[in-house]
Amino acid sequence: MPAPEFLIKAERKKLRELRAIASSLDSPNLGEMYTAAGKLMTLQCGKSLLPKAMSLLDKGDETLRRLVYRSAGRNVYGKYIPELFEWMKRINPAEREQVLQVVEESFRTIGSPFSRQEVDAWINVLSNIGHEHQATVFGIMALLGDAGFKWAKKRIKNNIETISIGTIAKLGEFPPNVRTKLVRVAIGEATKRKPDLLPYLCEITDKSSLKYLRSFLESGNWQDRIHVARAIGRVGITSSKGIVMDIVADPDWRVKQELIESIDISRSNLSNVMKILSYMVADSHSRVRGQADRTILLLGCEPCKDMDLETQRVKLEKQFRTQLLRAAPKNRDIDSRWLGIEIDDHPIPILNESSDEPAGISLIDISSKTTEEKAVESPKSDLLAALLKAKEKAVLKEPIIPDVVEEVIVDDIEMSLPATEKFMQVLKKLSGKSGRGVSLDRIKREASSLEMSEEEVDEALGQLEKDGIVYRSSRGTIKRVDIEL
């Protein structure tokens, strides 16, 4: 049965377009030639002109050559695959990377080969390409089915030392049924031979592969454990056992604080989050407790997975009412009106002089009193006298550097020193030979000239306190431990 007339006309029209493009590729007019090469890149039936594109790979015109290489990469198949990659050895790595990216995009949008022979041909040529294209090659392998997965697994297991950061990100593009296996292999090998990959492996972990990060908890330092804690929070708290509880029980407060800060509430289960927070609100470190209080307050504004907000608030108030009331005035950026309390912008009360209630007295009031006022006999004057006597007895037991002092020169401190070392240098200069106590505000002002932020100063102070190098006195000042520095 002959084909319908309209199909014959459509086929003839498309053939005329293909002949026109093929003819224009040989045109002496550069504009016409470049236009034809651009059309060839976007042509749906570009495989029909693949032999023509392959014949132009050795053209001297650089613009035409780049367009033709990309067209060939988009449409190459069968016996042309090894031929194209042989030609690609003659171009620079940047152009070669562009061709490989076109191949990856073509596989992703049009479809990857499914015949075993075709897949083997791709794996063979991609295995022998330069290391600088590793990330893109892994991206292509993610689209080549089981054979691509086996190739990637073998490469990671045998050559983890040469796996790049960009390649780790590409592991997340493999199908879910094999991605977990690849991540498990990568984490296992990286723990033993390349621990620097941990932060990037944490970025591609999900609920199914999170448990494999436990090896870093056992062998890593507190910085490594912080990355693990961030990954756990990012995927959401859906369990209160296993690796989650390992972080909750971590001896370093920074690891626990990172877990609380990183929790994705929308992905978490309320009961499990509340169980974890019940441990955190009783932690020995004030920062952990403060962050736990803030997270509890946040839970009153954002519902957990499969949870109604009103029901969630009822449960929070039942278990954490004390923490909610404590967190509300300290976290004014979070809406706490649902608690049914009013948080004043200025929480310091104004005393009403006409009130019969006894007014509070400060030491400033005492210092401003004259001798005549002190002579007045009244219950209030007796209270003033008692407070004044207490003030006189409160003699400073340690010298404190006042806020207004002569500017200390810190230009001789190296900017490249670690934060803790710069902190100690500043403290040493401010305290002098006598080892006087120095206020934290004073240290922060001097440290700012060394490009240290307040957060970095606080973190350095926390580390030095933990190591027993400095301590806070009863006056709240910072002093060095009596050891040789």
Is the Cβ–Cβ distance between 163 and 188 less than 8 Å?
A: no
More confident: 481 or 80 = 80
Q: How many Å apart are CA 427 and CA 472, to the nearest integer? A: 13
Structure token digits, residue 72 = 């060939």
Per the DSSP assignment, residues forming a β-bridge with 479 are 471
pLDDT digit string (tens) for 87-121?
Answer: 999 999 999 999 999 999 999 998 899 899 999 99
At 44 the three-state DSSP class reads coil
**Domain 419-480 falls under CATH 3.40.50.300:** no
Rounded to an integer, what distance in angstroms lies between the CA atom of residue 435 and that of residue 85?
A: 71
**Amino acid at the residue 31:** G
CB of 288 within 8 A of CB of 261? no
Question: Is the per-residue pLDDT at 220 higher than 80?
Answer: no
At 205, is the secondary structure helix, strand, or coil? coil
User: Which residues make Cβ contacts (< 8 Å) with residue 323, sequence separation at least 6?
Assistant: 281, 292, 293, 296
Residue 178: how many other CB atoms lie within 10 Å: 18
Tokens describing residue 60? 């001297």
Phi, psi of 472 (to 5 degrees): -95, 130
Cα torsion angle, 63, 69, 73, 77, sign: positive
pLDDT in tens, 143-158: 999 999 999 999 999 9
pLDDT in tens, 231-265: 999 999 998 889 999 999 999 999 999 999 999 99
Length in residues, the chain: 485
- Strand ranges for 182-339 from DSSP E: none
Predicted confidence at residue 84, as pLDDT, reads 93
Rounded to two decimals, what is the model's pTM?
0.65
Q: Which pLDDT belongs to residue 409?
A: 54
